[in-house]
Structure 1
Amino acid sequence: MNNPKFSIIDRIKSFKYAFNGLKFFFLNDHNGRVHLLAAIIAIGLSFYLKISSLEWVAILSVISAVFVTEILNSAIEKLADVVSPDYHPKIKVVKDLAAAAVLVAAFLAVAVGLLVFIPKLFL
């Protein structure tokens, strides 16, 4: 197995590629922009309500989980469209499963948001 030397330049390039992916995601994915708006609202509300450190961890964790699953969902959809440009029932299952992962993460984010914000807003 080839073991190339560690290169700072290559590590910096890898960050560039990752940031390019984020830029592409937020510019081209409608759901990504919806999740970004929800994240901005949640973070703003978190500052306004002066939530605890543990609550910040919970809010930021679920925001990250939603973004990660949505980005992976988008990547899977793009790859599936290349592999099978025409409708294929097995590709549909793959896309549906990826979308389900986003839905689970979004439900978790809503549940955590309700647990953190409702007592501070209404109790």
Structure 2
Amino acid sequence: MGFLSALRFAWYGLRDTFKTERNFRIQSAFAILALIMGLLLKIDLNEWLWIGVSIFLVLAAELFNTALEALTNLVSPTWHPLAKKAKDAAASAVLLLAVFSIICGIIIFLPKLVQVIKHFNSVT
């Protein structure tokens, strides 16, 4: 398989996951919100790196979770405790990274938002 074919398949995976997975769309919306806030609050390069890592880790984890769920459903169409364990563990990985991202967002954005609010209150 050539490089362009691999890119095309990767694009199909992103597109299909965005179309079919509500959580991926929600996480993408939060990623866009974080990017907009970063631009508005003029975060520095180090802060951009943390926000970027957070966004990509959560979205990649959700893609892995989606892949694992699809594969689990294929090989175990009926309920099985090991299938449940696999799905729950993958969902937990996404949750842990989402919490990490929220913590990063709070550390980066909260002090800047407090400064904006203080400045706005002092002007009015």
TM-score under structure 1 length normalisation: 0.92
What root-mean-square deviation, in Å, do the aligned CA atoms of Structure 1 and Structure 2 show? Answer: 0.8
Matched-pair identity in %:
36
Long gaps (5+) in structure 1? 1-8
Higher helix share: 2
How many angstroms apart in 1 are the aligned matches of 2:78 and 2:61? 24
Name the counterpart of 2:118: none
Q: 1:104 aligns with which of 85, 96, 100?
A: 96
How many angstroms apart in 2 are the aligned matches of 1:20 and 1:91? 26
Name the counterpart of 1:47: 39
Q: 1:28 aligns with which of 20, 44, 49?
A: 20
Name the counterpart of 2:59: 67
**What is the deviation of 1:107?**
0.3
Q: Give the 5 Å matches for 1:2-17.
A: 10-17=2-9
How many angstroms apart in 2 are the aligned matches of 1:122 and 1:70? 31
Work out the number of aligned pairs and report it.
115
Long gaps (5+) in structure 2? 116-124
Question: One-letter code of the match for 1:38?
Answer: F
Question: One-letter code of the match for 1:58?
Answer: W
Please state whether the residue corresponding to 2:2 is helix, strand or coil: helix
Question: One-letter code of the match for 1:77?
Answer: E
How many angstroms apart in 2 are the aligned matches of 1:11 and 1:38? 31
Q: Would you identify which runs of 4 or more consecutive aligned residues in structure 1 move more than 4 Å?
A: none
Task: Find out whether 1:86 has 2:78 as its counterpart.
Answer: yes
